[in-house]
Amino acid sequence: MISIPGTLSVYNPQTRLTMFESGPETSTTSVIFLGGLLDGYHAVPYLPVLGRALAERGVSLIQVMLSSSNIGYGTSSLLQDTQELDILFAFLREERAKTRLFVIGHSTGCQQIIFHSHHGQHKLAVQGIILQGPVSDREFMVSSLDMYGKYLRLAQRMILDGKQPCILV
């Protein structure tokens, strides 16, 4: 079980998007973790260790939920992620007095922060970016189209044959 003490806060009251901050919350320096495809809080096993190491240096760790997090993947866009990150960065600077923000993008989170660094209103709020395990979901999906086509044909055949619903793997 992953357990990290911290505070869950709403950073966007209109959409009820939240962030989880661990370590010294009064710190003016924070590292923001953006997870990958289908990730939510405590997405990777190294976060507790990272959080403790940052706290020892007086830095807080912030995990963030975007509309595209968890099961929201595929229902959003990089532009929407960028707008939500802008709201987060403004909240952290204005409401929490954060002056130094660094972002770790994990997997899909890398795409989000790279896109934000080109198109975000608050892109200058970020002092540094770490890309950990960068991937392109779009390239993966394109390379997987043949497999999806096979599964689609199999599912259609199963429906015509009156087979019971099942998960295709």
Same domain, 61 and 113: yes
Same domain, 110 and 148: no
Same domain, 36 and 87: yes
pLDDT of residue 165: 79
pLDDT of residue 137: 65
pLDDT of residue 1: 64
Integer angstrom CA distances of residue 114 from 97, 121, 129, 151: 24, 13, 9, 33
The answer to whether 102 touches 126, Cβ cutoff 8 Å, is yes
Q: Which two tokens stand for residue 68?
A: 């595209």
pLDDT of residue 135: 73
The answer to whether 99 touches 135, Cβ cutoff 8 Å, is no
Same domain, 42 and 90: yes
**CB hemisphere CA count around 120 (13 angstroms):** 23
Which domain covers residue 31, as residue numbers?
A: 7-135
pLDDT averaged per 10 residues in sequence order, the chain, 169 residues: 85 95 96 90 92 97 91 81 96 97 94 94 93 76 79 90 81
pLDDT of residue 95: 96
Same domain, 82 and 157: no
pLDDT tens string 100-126: 999 999 998 999 999 999 999 998 899
Same domain, 149 and 99: no
Please check whether residue 169 lies inside any domain of the structure. yes
Same domain, 73 and 99: yes
pLDDT of residue 64: 96
Q: How far apart are CA 116 and CA 85, in angstroms?
A: 8
* Residues contacting 80, CB < 8 A, separation 6+: 66, 67, 68
Same domain, 155 and 112: no
Q: Which of 55, 58, 39 is nearest to 132 (CA)?
A: 39
H-helix segments, the chain: 47-56, 78-94, 108-119, 137-143, 145-160
Please check whether residue 1 lies inside any domain of the structure. no
Same domain, 12 and 65: yes
Same domain, 80 and 155: no
**Backbone phi and psi for residue 55, each to the nearest 5 degrees, phi listed first:** -60, -40
Same domain, 122 and 51: yes
pTM of the model: 0.80
